[in-house]
Structure 1
Amino acid sequence: MSKTRIVQFHETGPAEVLKIEEVTLPEPKENEVRLKTEAIGLNRAEVAFRSGQYLEQPDFPSKIGYEASGVVDAVGSNVKSVKAGDKVSTIPSFSMKEYGMYGEDVIVPEHAVAKYPSNLSAEEAAAIWMPFITAYGGLVETGHLKKDDYVLITAASSSVGLAAIDITKAKGGIAVASTRKQEKKQDLLNAGADHVIVTDDEDLVKKAIEITGEKGFNIIFDPIGGPIIEALAKAAAEQATIIEYGSLSGESAAFPFGSLLKNRLSIKGYILMDITTNPEKLKPAKDYIFKALEEGKFKPAIDKTFAFEDIVEAHKYMESNQQKGKIVVKV
C-alpha cells in the first residue's frame, strides 16, 4: 500500500507540535481531488489554529494548512472542473478540521481548486489566493473602494497587506501603509505604497491628518485589532469604513464610541470565507485576480522559502514577524 507524508499535530502549542508523519496515500472521494503538492503557502490562520486560538478548534490528530499548489493526480467521482495532470492551487474555502494542505499528497474539495496563470511558478501559485482574495473581498466587496479614496493598510508588510497595496493602486486609490519598524518603510514604498507611517516613531493620527489634508482615511483595512482601534477611529474620515479582518494583537479594545458617532463610522468584521464560500462573490474576485496576475499587474510577494522538512522553522519564522510577504514551503 502506497505511503505519503503529511504534517499533523496531536496537541495545540508552539511550532514544535507540528510533526511530519507517514500515512497511507489517501484516495479522493466524491467531489474531491488528490493533489501531488509542489509548494505550500503559510498563513497566520494556521499559526492560530495550531496554537488553539483560531475560529475553530482542531480534532486530534489534526491536519493543517489552507494553501498549496501542485498537480492533480487523481479525482473522485463527479469531479468535472479538473483532471489528472492539471496544475492547480487551492483556495481557502474549507475547514482545517476536514482538510489540510501541509503534505506531499493532499485531498482537496473540488470547489477549492483553481487553475493559475501559466506565467507563475509553483511557489508563486501557492501565494496568490489567500492574500489577493482577502484584500479584494475587504477593499472592493466590503469597503467599496473607489478612485481617490485614502486607504490605510495596517500590518502592510504581510502578504495580504502587500496585495492590498496592489489592489488599492489598481483601483485608483491612495495607498497608505503602516508598519511598526523603520526597516520596512522603503520596502513598502518599493511595493507601491504612496505613503508609509512607521508607528513606533510616528503618531498615526497626526500623520493621517497630514497625509489626507485633515480629511482622514476613507477605508481602513486592519488585521491587528485591540487597542489600535481607538487610534484608527480617530484617523478615519467622515462615513469611513474600518474593516477588521484579524486579531493579531490578541487584546480587547475600548469601543471608540465618540469617533463612531462624530464621523458616522462603520466598523465591519470580515473574514476570507465571506468571499470564498459564496460562489457569486468568489467568481468576480477570481476573474479579476487571475487577469491581473496573467498580465503581470499583480505579482505574488514571496519573502522566504523553506524545505518541507523545515516546517517547524517556517512557523517560527512567521511568528518572528520578520517577513515581508509570503512564506512558502517547497515540497
Structure 2
Amino acid sequence: MPRVVVFDRTGAPDVLHLVDEPLDEPGTGEVRIRIEAAGVNRLDQMMRAGHYPGPVRLPHARLGCEGTGTVDAVGPGVEGIAAGDAVIITAVPAMDLNGTYAEYTTVPAASVVPRPAGLDATAAAALWVAYSTAYGALVEKAATRPGDHVLITAASSAVGLAAIQVARQLGAVPLAVTRSGAKKDALLAAGAEAVIATDRDDVSEAAHRHTGGAGADIILDTVMGPGLADLSKAAKPGGTLVTAGWLDPRPASFPMNWPLTIIGYASFEHTLDPTVVRRIAAFLEAGLRTGALRPTVDRVFGLDDIVAAHAYLEEGHQVGKIVVTV
C-alpha cells in the first residue's frame, strides 16, 4: 500500500512517522496525484508543533500544502486533465486530511495546474507556495509598480527569495532584510539591490538610506511579532505594509506611523480562486521562461527522512526551500 506521513500528537519533528494507507479513488471533480516531490513549509512546522491557528484533526493527521507529480487517475466530471499529466498542486486547504507528504494524494481538479515545461520535480516542488505568495502580496494586493522600493523581511526564506525575484520581474527594487550578514552574498546573488542585516543595522535607518531618504514604498513582512511597529517606520509616508506570515508567534505591535496602508494577506485568498490562479500561473510561467524566476532549493531529503527535514527546517539556516522527494 502507498506510504504517507502522519502524526498523532503535536510536538517535535519526531512525532512524524510513515504508515501504509489504502489508495483512495478520486471522487467527482477530483484527481489522484502520484507525488514526486513536496515542499516543506513553515506552515507545516506550525501545524506539526501545535502552533497553527486553525483546527488540526488528530490523531492520524497528514501534512504538506504543496507538491508536484503526475496524474494517476481522474474522477467523474473532470475535463482537460488526463492520467500521465505532470502537474503542480496549487492548494491543499485540508492538508491534515490529504497533505502532500505522501506517495499519493487526491485533490480537486481545480487545485492543479500544468507543470511548466523544462521544470523538474524538485524545482517545481519549490515553486508554487513561495512564488504565489510573493505574487499575491506584491501584485494583487500591493500593486507594486516599476521603480518601487520593496523591503522584504526573512529574505533568505523561500518566500523572501521569491519576492526578490518577483520584484525584479516587475521592475521594482528589492531591499532584503535578514538576521545575519552571513547571508549577504547569497541575497545579492539572488537579485537584492541591498541587504540589511538586523544583527548590525537599524532597519528603518538603512531603508531610508537606500531609498535616498524617502523610505520603502512597500514592505513585505512574513515575521510579524513585537518588531512590527518598528519595521513599519522603514516605509515612506503613505507606503504599504503587507503582512504575509507570522514566523514570530508573539503578539504583533501595532504600527502608528500614519499615513500607512496595512494589508494582512493569506495566500489561500488567491490560490482558491481559479481566476487568480490562472493569472499566477501565467506570471510564473513567463518568469521561468525568461529566467527572471529561478526556484531556490536549499536541500533535498527523501520521504523516509521527513523527521530530519523538519529538524533542519527548525535550525533556520536554509536559503530557499527544503524539498522532500518521494
Pairwise TM-score range, normalised by the shorter structure: over 0.9
Note closer, same or farther for the CA distance 1:247–1:14 as it changes in structure 2 (3 Å cut): same
Give a deviation string over 1:101-131, Cα, whole Å, max 9, x none.
Answer: 1101111221111111121111111111111
TM-score w.r.t. length of structure 1: 0.96
Q: 1:267 aligns with which of 262, 276, 291?
A: 262
C-alpha distance in structure 2 between counterparts of 1:316 and 1:186, whole Å: 25
Cα distance, 1:64 vs. partner?
Answer: 1.1
C-alpha distance in structure 1 between counterparts of 2:275 and 2:9, whole Å: 37
Q: 1:288 aligns with which of 278, 283, 286?
A: 283
Q: 1:22 maps to what in 2?
A: 20
C-alpha distance in structure 2 between counterparts of 1:57 and 1:322, whole Å: 29
C-alpha distance in structure 2 between counterparts of 1:290 and 1:17, whole Å: 37
Q: 1:309 aligns with which of 304, 309, 312?
A: 304
Note closer, same or farther for the CA distance 1:93–1:26 as it changes in structure 2 (3 Å cut): closer
Which runs of structure 2 are paired with 1:83-98 in the superposition (5 Å)? 83-98=82-97
C-alpha distance in structure 1 between counterparts of 2:72 and 2:210, whole Å: 52
**DSSP 3-state at the match of 2:76:** coil
CA contact (8 A) 1:93 1:277 kept: no
Structure 1: which 5+ runs fail to align? none
Identity across matched positions, percent: 40
Cα distance, 1:92 vs. partner?
Answer: 2.1
CA contact (8 A) 1:119 1:294 kept: no
C-alpha distance in structure 2 between counterparts of 1:20 and 1:96, whole Å: 16
Cα distance, 1:6 vs. partner?
Answer: 0.3
Does residue 10 of structure 1 match 2:5?
no
Q: 1:125 maps to what in 2?
A: 124
**DSSP 3-state at the match of 2:61:** coil
C-alpha distance in structure 1 between counterparts of 2:53 and 2:211, whole Å: 35
CA contact (8 A) 1:38 1:69 kept: yes
C-alpha distance in structure 1 between counterparts of 2:280 and 2:165, whole Å: 14
Q: 1:54 maps to what in 2?
A: 52
Cα distance, 1:11 vs. partner?
Answer: 0.9
Amino acid aligned to 2:48: R
Amino acid aligned to 1:287: A
Runs of 4+ in 1 over 6 A off after TM superposition: none
CA contact (8 A) 1:242 1:267 kept: yes
Tell me how many residue pairs correspond in the alignment: 325
C-alpha distance in structure 2 between counterparts of 1:86 and 1:198, whole Å: 43
C-alpha distance in structure 1 between counterparts of 2:96 and 2:77, whole Å: 23
Q: 1:190 maps to what in 2?
A: 189
Cα RMSD of the aligned pairs, angstroms, is 1.1
C-alpha distance in structure 2 between counterparts of 1:18 and 1:253, whole Å: 30
Q: 1:105 maps to what in 2?
A: 104
Which runs of structure 2 are paired with 1:1-331 in the superposition (5 Å)? 3-60=1-58, 61-257=60-256, 259=257, 261=258, 264-331=259-326
